[in-house]
Amino acid sequence: MIDVLIVEDSPSAAQLLSFILTSDPGIRIAGVASNGSDALRKLEALKVDVVTMDINLPGGMNGFETTRRIMETRPLPIAIISSLVVSSGDASNPFRVMVEGALAVLAKPPGPGHPDFEKRSKELIRTVRAIAEVKVVRRSATPARSTPASASPATRPATQPPRVQPQRVIQAGGRYRVVAIGASTGGPAVIESIFAALGPGFPLPILLVQHISAGFTEGFASWLTKATGIPTRVARQGELPEPGKAYVAPDDHHMGVSPTGTIDLNGTREALHGLRPAAAHLFESVARVHGNRAIGVILTGMGADGSRELGLIRQAGGITIAQESESCVVDGMPGQAVKMGSAGLVLTPEAISKKLYTLAAE
C-alpha cells in the first residue's frame, strides 16, 4: 500500500486528487495539508510514502521551500502537481523545484467529464506508483553544481555563453552531427545535471523528447536555459538545429529531422508506445538521416519508448548510451534498451556528460 500526503490549499483540488488516487486500490491518502507548515507537522506524525505538492501555498512557505525542507529533514519522493505555467519566464516555473529534489511535475488534473480526465488521472496514478519505489536521499541546503565536463571554470565560465555561428548540420565539421535524447519520469532533473555539466558552448545541437504534461513544455525549456546556460527552446518546424543549442519536442507532435537536417514536426502520425511526442520517432528519424554520425541517449523513464529504436542508431554505426539503473528514478526505458542490446554504453549522468564532450571533439 502506498500512503500519500496531499499538500494543496484548495479543498476542491485536494478532494479531486484524493478521488483519483484512491481509485487505485494500492493507494490510500495518509492526510491532506493546506500549507507548508501543516505538511511538515503531518509528516512527523504520519506514515507517508509519497508527497504530492502544490507550488502556490499560503502562509509564507510555498511549494519550493516546503520541498526543500522535506528533502533536508525527512526525504521522500515528491511529485509537483501544478497549474499550467502561463509565462515561461515566471518565477513560479515548477521545474525550479527539481533542483530541490522533486521527482516529477504534473499538471493539475481536470474534473470528471473533461475529455482529458481519464488520461490525466492515469498519468497521476502511474507517476505516484513509479516514484514510490525511488529511494531518495537527504539534500544539503545548497546543492552542489558539477564543473563542465570539457574544462575548468577558468576556461569555460558559466555566464555569457560563447557565440556560435549557425552552420548546416549535414556539413558541420567533426565526426558527429547531433545528440538525440529521450527521457520520461525523472528526466528533467537528470537532463538539467547533464546540460549543466556540458556547459555553454557544447559544439553539437541537441534534440530532446521529454514526456511531460501538455502545457509545460515552454516552462521546461525556459528552466533548462536559465539553470544550465545551454539555450533551450521548443522546436519549430523547418528550423536548422544550431550547435550549442537544445530543441524540445512540442506538445502533441513527434519530432524528427528531414534529409537536410532541419527539424521535422509531425502531428498526424499515431502515438508510439501511447505517446506523442515519442523518443521512438526521434531515434528512428535520426538513425535514418544521420546514421553513423548520430549520438543517441536514453534516460530514466517508465515504459519502453525509444528502447528498441535507439538500437537503430547503433545499427547505423552511431553511438548509443543508456543511463545506468542505479541513478534512474525509473529504469524502464534505459533498462529495456540494455536488455534489447540497443545501448552500446551504460553510464551514469556524470559519465554521460563527459562522454558527450569526448565524442563531440572527435
Catalytic entry in 82, 305, 327, 353:
305
Clarify whether 305 is annotated catalytic: yes
211 is catalytic: yes
Which residue bears the cell 546540460? 195
Catalytic entry in 211, 253, 273, 281:
211
Side-chain-facing half-sphere of 66: CA atoms under 13 Å: 32
275 strand-pairing partners: 272
Do 337 and 343 meet the contact criterion of CB atoms below 8 Å apart? Answer: yes
326 burial via Cβ count (<10 Å: 0-12, 13-18, 19+): exposed
Helix (H) or strand (E) holding 254: strand 254-257
Per DSSP, the residues of 275-315 read BSS-HHHHHHHHHHHHGGGEEEEE-SBSS-TTTTTHHHHHH
Question: Rounded to the nearest 10 degrees, what angle do helices 187-198 and 217-228 cross at?
Answer: 30
State the catalytic residue, choosing from 150, 184, 307, 327. 184
Residues 270, 278, 285, 346: is their CA dihedral positive or negative? negative
> Which residues, in sequence order, are bridge partners of residue 301?
331
37: three-class secondary structure by DSSP: helix
Spatial separation of the C-alpha atoms in residues 255 and 277, rounded to whole Å: 7
Q: How far apart are CA 114 and CA 78, in angstroms?
A: 26
SS3 state at 253: coil
- How many CB atoms lie under 10 A from the CB of residue 23? 11
Cell numbers of 97, please?
523545484
Q: How many CB atoms lie within 10 A of CB 171?
A: 9
Grid cell of 50 as nine digits? 509519497
Enzyme catalytic residues: 184, 211, 305
